[in-house]
Amino acid sequence: MPEEKIVSQQYIYRGRVVTLRIDNIVLPASGKITTREIVEHGDCVVIVAIDGQGNALLVRQFREAVGKTLLELPAGGINPAEDPADCVRRELQEETGFKPLKVERLAGFYASPGFCTEYMHLFLATGLEPSRLYDEDTESIEVEKVPMERIPQLIADGSIIDAKSIAGLLLAMRRR
């Protein structure tokens, strides 16, 4: 399939988390010039952490963008030059207070490729050991242990509604 060609780019906002730009592009079939609004966002990790009893560690936190408290998989941004597997270890400890002995890559996917550059690296973390919890990062996060067999019902009844968590949990269940 022919690709769109960028004619020009204009950066309209550079923030701590996202950068916003407008691309003027040429449509390959018609030659028409149109715009694309792009959110640049760094890559992140999404973690399916399963304890020795077969429970997934989920986090409940308020998300201002949607105005709701969501039940999600732990996730977080990858620091510059940080290996994604190392980011898994750091983020899991920061958000749940557990360190994984084993970290395995399951998959990867774009969060919302129609307008955002964010790529999510999905990992399975097992062999969980209690570790120090970072209070400054978790004051508004509650950790919940959920039996894996309950996950399909939580997705079906709308208790888990974010795409990264649904995709990650279903992929992990398929793997098991």
Pick the catalytic residue from 64, 72, 129, 136: 136
- In Å, how far are 26, 40, 114, 115 from 32, measured between CA atoms? 6, 24, 19, 19
Q: What is the DSSP letter of 65?
A: T
Q: Please state, rounded to an integer, the average pLDDT across all residues of the chain.
A: 95
Burial class (CB in 10 A: 0-12, 13-18, 19+), 14: exposed
Q: For residue 91, which of 147, 134, 41 has the smallest C-alpha distance? A: 134
For range 23-47, the mean pLDDT: 97
The pLDDT assigned to 123 comes to 98
Per-residue pLDDT at 133 exceeds 80:
no
Residue 9: strand pairing partners: 23
Q: List pLDDT tens digits, range 66-122.
A: 999 999 999 999 999 999 999 999 999 999 999 999 999 999 999 999 999 999 999
**DSSP per-residue string spanning 90-128:** HHHHHHHSEEEEEEEEEEEEES-TTTB--EEEEEEEEEE
Helices (H), strands (E): how many in the chain?
4, 10
For range 9-22, the mean pLDDT: 97
Per-residue pLDDT at 137 exceeds 70:
no
The pLDDT assigned to 66 comes to 97
Per-residue pLDDT at 36 exceeds 60:
yes
The pLDDT assigned to 136 comes to 53
Q: Provide φ and ψ at 5, rounded to 5°.
A: -105, 130
Q: Provide φ and ψ at 43, rounded to 5°.
A: -70, 160
Instruction: Establish whether 104 is a catalytic residue.
Output: no
The pLDDT assigned to 139 comes to 62
For range 51-80, the mean pLDDT: 97
The pLDDT assigned to 175 comes to 85
